[in-house]
């Protein structure tokens, strides 16, 4: 497959909403509920309050005219020289076809082109680990000794484990 990666903007809101709504498995595992209708808007705009809009990266992965993946990250979070990957989601029918790796490679390129980014960092919520951990490990991420309590919206208390990879 030949994919195209582009920065996502508000013009892509409908396509991004469709991608997120069509894959409720991720949302159920991480949040304990189906995706919310405004989830796409959050992916495009949410960032830590201490960071400006220039820190936000939202990439889309396209197969022809269909959005099949999204990745969002923020530069210099939680500290300088770190790019925190908040989401990498691929349409279920595109799993196992190189889409996730292609999207990740585009994030790595963004990190390498960003002044001073040395590390990629992410969290894997324990209730999503079976689906996600193997993917991230194949890409070279290793667990740190850090973990945080994660309380899903359905009240389930779990853990988010931190993983990192040098750029």
Tens-digit pLDDT profile for residues 3-20? 999 999 999 999 999 999
Q: Is the pLDDT of residue 92 over 80?
A: yes
Residue 146 within any structural domain of the chain:
no
Cis, bond preceding 78 (omega within 30 deg of 0): yes
Residue 140 within any structural domain of the chain:
no
Range of the domain at 91: 4-118
Give the pLDDT mean for 20-40.
92
Residue 132 within any structural domain of the chain:
no
Residue 147 within any structural domain of the chain:
no
Residues 46 and 48: their CA atoms lie apart, in Å, by: 7
Contacts for 121 with CB less than 8 Å, ≥ 6 apart: 78, 82, 83, 84, 85, 162, 163, 164
For tokens 């484990």, the residue is: 161
How many other C-beta atoms are found inside a 10 Å radius of the C-beta of residue 60? Answer: 22
Question: What is the CATH number for 81?
Answer: 3.40.630.30
Tens-digit pLDDT profile for residues 111-142? 999 889 999 999 999 999 999 999 999 999 99
Distances (CA, A) of 79 to 10, 34, 40, 94, 141: 28, 32, 26, 33, 18
Instruction: Look at residue 27 in the predicted model and tell me its pLDDT.
Output: 93
* Counted domains in the chain: 1
């Amino acid at each position: 497959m030949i994919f195209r990666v582009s920065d996502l903007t508000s013009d892509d809101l409908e396509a991004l909403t469709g991608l997120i709504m069509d894959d409720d498995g991720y949302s159920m595992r991480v949040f304990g509920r189906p995706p919310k209708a405004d989830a796409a808007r959050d992916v495009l705009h949410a960032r830590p309050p201490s960071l400006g809009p220039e820190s936000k990266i939202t990439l889309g992965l396209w197969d022809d005219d269909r959005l099949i993946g999204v990745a969002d990250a923020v530069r210099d979070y939680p500290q300088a020289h770190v790019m925190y990957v908040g989401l990498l989601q691929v349409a279920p029918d595109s799993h196992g076809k190189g889409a996730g790796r292609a999207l990740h490679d585009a994030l790595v390129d963004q990190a390498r082109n960003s002044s001073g980014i040395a590390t990629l960092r992410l969290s894997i919520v324990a209730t999503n680990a079976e689906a996600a951990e193997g993917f991230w490990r194949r890409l070279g991420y290793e667990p740190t000794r850090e973990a945080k309590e994660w309380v899903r919206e359905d009240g389930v208390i779990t853990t988010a484990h931190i993983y990192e990879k040098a750029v």
